[in-house]
Amino acid sequence: MENSDKFSIIKRNPYVVVVFMQFAYSGMALLSKAAIAQGMNPYVFVAYRQAFATVALAPFAYFLERKEADPLPYPVIGKIFLISLIGSTLSMNLYSYAINYVSATFASASINTIPALTFVMSVLFRVESFSVTRVHGMAKVVGTLISVSGAVVFALVKGPQVNFMKWSSKDTHPASSVISAKGKLIEGCLLMILANAAWAWWLVMQAPLVKRYPAKFRLTLLQSLFSCIQSFVWAMAIEWNLSSWKLQWDLNLISVAYCGIVVTGLVYWLQLSAVESKGPLFTASFTPLALIITAFISALVWKEILHLGSICGGILLVGGLYCVLWGKNKELQVEANQDQPTTKVETIV
């Protein structure tokens, strides 16, 4: 498939595509929260999700990259297995476990920390460097601190209720409720941030991996397959009750199928195409939209009550995100003016 055909839908309707992606990510937070809140084991959820993702990605990998499939040396296979273990299996299991103790709105809000966490990971692994004596370097550092601070404020600072729908706390749906014990709430928030940190590490590790094996769909298929095997082993070691593994025509099946097929399958391809066609900054700038969509649907469907602290934390999260993006954009402009190659990690943030 030629690049012009591959990216034609992105070039014709770029805003429609990126908005659809944010709706899809909002659906992931809402459906996974609903399924796990109704009793589905979070580790079983991840195992089935990765199974659906593997099946969904297989046709794309076969038909779109038949000519790009080179034999994989064993060291590369080992790296793919390790990256799948930490970046996919660990990240998704932490996310699914943590979402039982936080709201779907916070889960969507925490996604805005990923660009900042990716910047931290890239600096730690020396994939990217920065200078505190330059404006763009300070912007990325300040934006990272603001993003993390926003996540803390969103999770822990309540304040007055912002009840624009006139709900009362007893009217809320179980899927929107959060464990009242403060220890569990803090644990859930910390695990959600750790899940995003593991995902940020996965993003950073993709740069050298894609360089070794450029067939992106096949690479993603292999990671989904390894993660599926790892997740099934982990889930079976913890959950022996066979009744927990039964899928029926209910919300649980819809949730795992949606997260596996739509998010990991379709949305991955759209995001990959959008980044390559329109650039990473254009794609990342729409990330806060998922928070707004999730908060609105949670309030409308589950009657979730927002607090002033959550709104202030969300503003800090979005502000920190755009601060990091602004700093990165300025850095790319400086590198372009100096005819220096841009850092590889930027293509996948």
Q: What is the DSSP letter of 339?
A: T
Determine phi and psi for 342, rounding to 5 degrees: -75, 155
What's the rounded Cα separation, in Å, for the pair 60 and 54? Answer: 10
Element (H, E) at 307: strand 306-307
Query: Own/partner pairs for 125-132, CB < 8 Å, 24+ apart?
Result: 125/204, 127/204, 127/207, 127/343, 127/344, 127/345, 128/343, 128/345, 128/346, 130/331
Residue in 292, 309, 303 with CA at minimum distance from that of residue 19: 292
Residue in 324, 260, 315 with CA at minimum distance from that of residue 109: 315
Q: What is the pTM of this model?
A: 0.82
**For the residues of 43-103, what is the DSSP string, one character each?**
HHHHHHHHHHHHHHHHHHHHHHSGGG-PPPPHHHHHHHHHHIIIIIIIHHHHHHHHTTTS-
Q: Give the contacts of 122 (CB within 8 A, at least 6 positions apart).
A: 128, 204, 343, 345
Q: Give the contacts of 148 (CB within 8 A, at least 6 positions apart).
A: 113, 116, 193, 320
- Two tokens, residue 83: 């990256």
Q: What is the pLDDT along the chain (349 residues), one digit of tens a residue?
A: 444 455 555 667 778 888 898 999 999 999 999 999 888 999 999 999 999 999 998 988 888 777 766 777 888 899 999 999 998 899 999 999 999 888 888 888 888 888 888 888 888 877 766 666 778 788 888 888 898 888 888 877 877 877 655 555 555 555 555 544 556 788 888 999 999 999 888 888 877 787 777 777 788 889 999 999 999 999 999 988 888 898 888 899 999 999 999 998 788 778 767 766 776 667 777 888 888 888 888 878 777 777 888 889 889 988 988 888 888 788 778 777 775 554 444 444 4
Q: How many helices (H) and strands (E) does the chain have?
A: 16, 2
The span from the first CA to the last CA of the chain, in angstroms, equals 25
| Alpha carbon separation from 178 to 11, 29, 183, 239, 306 (Å, rounded) | 41, 14, 12, 23, 12
Other C-beta atoms within 10 Å of 160: how many? Answer: 8
Q: Give the contacts of 306 (CB within 8 A, at least 6 positions apart).
A: 105, 161, 162, 163, 295, 299
Predicted confidence at residue 172, as pLDDT, reads 55
Q: Give the contacts of 82 (CB within 8 A, at least 6 positions apart).
A: none
